[in-house]
Structure 1
Amino acid sequence: MKIDRLISIIMILLERDKVSASKLAEMFEVTPRTIFRDIDSINQAGIPIVTYPGVRGGIGIMEQYKVEKRLFTVSDITALLTGLGSIHATMSGEEILNAMAKVKGLIPEEQVREIELKSGQIVIDHAPWLGNKILKLNLHDIKIAMDGCRLVSFSYSDQEGKPSSREVEPYRLVLKDSNWYLQGYCISRQDFRIFRLSRITGLKVLEGTFTPREFDPKPLHPPDQQVVTLTLQIDSSLRDLMLELCGEENVVPCGNHKFTVYFPFAENDFGYNMLLRMGDKCECLGPSHVRAELVRRIKGLLAVYEGE
């Protein structure tokens, strides 16, 4: 929204001596012409704008009009920019851009370069290399629906591929293990449900609104789900992955470019499919019943390719 951008520009100019129109345009992902129109609107609102010509010139607010307010440390601003940048990688929108611009406006001019370097040292990008191109659009639309308490409708395919049509009150978006989930109240099921966004198609934000219910967020996986510890032998090419999943204390060298891994494992399709994706770089040494189930699934896969 334009009013949000105007407020953000004012906050930046209050903190800086001057900023070029091209720099402001880059911050808000608009054209310099749009910035000049915004500056004219700010000036007409009674905030005294000063323009400085030349190579080192720019746009500023009359010095006598400013009140200095330094509420955040360099570390605070760096953390805020890192977090907002990770959200912007997945969710586009003017509100995120405006928030980033406001935070950047809090940076003392002499520390701009330092903070930009520090905030760029950690990049959290959840966007897939290829993946579902509709996902980002769905995230944007669900966020709009949540902000306006509006219903959403979509087609949903469960874990076994069975399709259904749903109408849902959206309450929460969750990113877990690189997958996005929607938590909401399903009208047809008359209960709260969790939907994986990669299984959603044809999502629409409806005109109908709802009165928010008492929402008690549930964990994405039942707390009583049985977890066993597997003993795996892996190739060195999987070491980095296992360090992320299990921690260094559970990844032990065993010679010949191999590692023994003590792996927390949930006995379900997701868990078995994760092991099978590692191919011949990973062998399950035990427990015996998990190894036997892996053999059964591998034989089933082999039969698909060897059969008619």
Structure 2
Amino acid sequence: MKLERLISIIYKLLNHNVLSATKLAEEYGVSPRTIYRDMDTIGAAGFPVVSHQGSQGGYGLMDGYKLDKSLLGSHDVASLITVLHSLSTMFDDTVVQETIERLQSIEHVQQLPRLDINFQSYHTDVTLLQLLRQAIAEQYVVHFHYINASNTRTARELEPDRIYFKYGAWYVAGYCRSRQSMREFRLSRMLDTVLRNQHFSKRAQVATSYTTGNEQQPPSASPSERLRSDIYTEIVIRVSNEALANALDQFQHAKRQFHEDGSMTIRLVITLQHPAQSKWLYGTLLSFGTHAEVLHPPEVRTMLHHKLRQMLSSYENDPT
């Protein structure tokens, strides 16, 4: 990756008087012309790069130049190591690992980081992540089938722009040729993803946000309009002591009250204006089985009762 290579070269320049462009090209597996462009980029970023002629020539930094420690202190280096370590583990990136080792040698940070970030989960498809990363780097069109929130399956062609992690899941965003607009897609819902033998040109940023891959989106509204239109409801749930950990994981921002028998009552405020927005609630509550009971409001209890009856009806007849 270019960014990691540039960071690595900067630290080499800080620790060596002269660096040969030919040797740097061999070390990073690129052409000398690429190193020349890297030096131009580093110089444009404010580092005083100078060129030395002759058989022992190469690139170095202006005499007397030193990196301001207030710009990149030990805390900053440790933070960089934490993030790079998490990404190198996810993407199996040896170049990033080399950068980590150089950062550790500069600040003598050899111990394990005090903060560690693990982006993996049971739902993470590392192979898909690496494929999309390649598509972005080499500007390949990606073809896949997508299951949206309405459970509709559609074929998509995407010019991927970036990958990001939010709300505990990985997403890819870019220009969807199938819908001719900027869209974002959750990786766990992408099927049969392949790279097309077709390159695309980088598009101008026409929007700061992406539309999700769903076909139908609720109408946009200002925050004040949403406050007036949404129906906010307090859900009160009694959780037995056998499901405390699960409840704490699922409802992290809810108000909690513990009882002498080991059970817990949680209170959370949600909007039930759009049915699609409440699917997660009923699915989560049903996942607790007999270890959670909704005490309020009555309409949520009624809906859960209806869903349980529907589930039971599916098992009334022998499928054979």
Deviation at 1:218, TM superposition (A): 4.0
Partner residue, 1:280? 290
1:293 positional shift: 0.8
Contact 1:235 1:282 in 2 (8 A): yes
* Cα pair 2:253 2:268 within 8 Å, conserved: no
The equivalent residue for 1:79 is 79
Aligned to 1:305: 315
Whether 2:219 is the aligned partner of 1:209: answer no
The equivalent residue for 1:62 is none
Consecutive unaligned residues of structure 1, counting only runs of 5 or more, are 17-36, 40-44, 49-64
Report how far residue 265 of structure 1 moved: 3.8
8 A Cα contact 2:175 2:183, kept in partner: yes
Deviation at 1:255, TM superposition (A): 2.9
Residue type of the alignment partner of 2:207: F
Q: Give the counterpart of 1:128 among 105, 117, 121.
A: 121
For 1:232 and 1:2, the matched residues in 2 are separated by: 51
Seen in structure 2, the aligned counterparts of structure 1 residues 286 and 195 have a Cα distance that, compared at 3 Å, is same
**Alignment RMSD, CA only?**
3.9
Q: 2 CA distance for matches of 1:160 and 1:105?
A: 51
Instruction: Provide closer, same or farther for how the CA distance between residues 266 and 38 of structure 1 changes in structure 2, counting only shifts above 3 A.
Output: same
> Aligned equivalents of 1:226 and 1:175: distance in 2?
29
Shift, 1:249, TM fit: 7.0
Q: Give, in whole Å, the separation in 2 of the partners of 1:265 and 1:122.
A: 32
The equivalent of 1:22 in structure 2 is none
2:238 matched to which residue of 1? Answer: 233
* Distance 1:249-1:163 versus aligned 2 partners, 3 A rule: closer
Aligned partner of residue 106 in structure 1, secondary structure: helix
Aligned residues: 261
Note the residue ranges of structure 2 that are not aligned, 5 or more in a row: 17-25, 29-54, 273-277
Q: What CA distance in whole angstroms lies between the structure 2 residues aligned with 1:3 and 1:299?
A: 56
% of aligned pairs identical? 24
- Indicate whether 1:291 and 2:301 are aligned: yes
Deviation, 1:262, is 0.9
Q: Which amino acid aligns with 2:93?
A: G
How many angstroms apart in 2 are the aligned matches of 1:148 and 1:2?
12
Contact 1:242 1:251 (8 Å CA) reproduced: no
Identify which of structures 1 and 2 has the higher relative contact order when contacts are C-alpha pairs closer than 8 Å and 6+ apart.
Answer: 1
CA 1:7–1:189: 2 relative to 1, 3 Å? closer
Closer, same or farther: CA 248–10 of 1 in aligned 2, 3 Å? closer
**Does structure 1 conserve the Cα–Cα contact (< 8 Å) formed by 2:234 and 2:269?**
yes
Given that 1:233 and 1:260 are in contact with CA atoms closer than 8 Å, whether structure 2 keeps it comes out as: yes
Corresponding residue number in structure 1 for 2:160: 170
